[in-house]
Amino acid sequence: EPEVTQTPSHQVTQMGQEVILRCVPISNHLYFYWYRQILGQKVEFLVSFYNNEISEKSEIFDDQFSVERPDGSNFTLKIRSTKLEDSAMYFCASSSSPYEQYFGPGTRLTVT
């Protein structure tokens, strides 16, 4: 069964560094998303992406963040100048319809 994959599974970085989180959505899906979950808290929407552009973003998704679909398969989230409070699980999701979003296994980002 097709699934969303994410790499790396765990990323440790120092405050101020840039990180790129990678996702491979399900191949025939057209809508892509990033969410984050701070430990012990609810899952929060960051951004959605369709037709090579951002379709919606939350107030969390400020200039520190960017997304890109560099080729036909990858979808990346870049966090510039990471802060301690960026430590969280980051989930990528994809969908072909409004009826469901399939989530990847997540990347745990630890900023020290």
Partner 1 sequence: AQKITQTQPGMFVQEKEAVTLDCTYDTSDPSYGLFWYKQPSSGEMIFLIYQGSYDQQNATEGRYSLNFQKARKSANLVISASQLGDSAMYFCAMRVYSSASKIIFGSGTRLSIRP
Task: Identify the CA nearest to 60 among candidates 47, 49, 48.
Answer: 47
Question: 33: which 2 tokens?
Answer: 């998303």
Identify which of residues 35 and 111 has a Cβ nearer to partner 1 in the complex: 35
105 binds partner 1 (CB under 8 A): yes
Rounded to whole angstroms, how far apart are CA atoms 110 and 37? 12
Identify which of residues 19 and 46 has a Cβ nearer to partner 1 in the complex: 46
Identify which of residues 15 and 104 has a Cβ nearer to partner 1 in the complex: 104
Question: 66: which 2 tokens?
Answer: 């960017």
Q: What DSSP element (H or E) covers 60?
A: none
Rounded to whole angstroms, how far apart are CA atoms 4 and 108? 16
Rounded to whole angstroms, how far apart are CA atoms 92 and 107? 9
- The contact pattern for partner 1, residues 50-79, with x = CB under 8 A and - = no contact, is x----xx-x---------------------
108 binds partner 1 (CB under 8 A): yes
Decide the pairing of beta strands 43-50 and 31-37.
antiparallel
Q: How many amino acids of this chain bind partner 1 (CB under 8 A)?
A: 26
Binders in 24-53 for partner 1, by CB under 8 A: 31, 33, 35, 41-45, 48, 50
Residues that bind partner 1 (CB under 8 A): 31, 33, 35, 41-45, 48, 50, 55-56, 58, 89, 91, 93, 98-106, 108
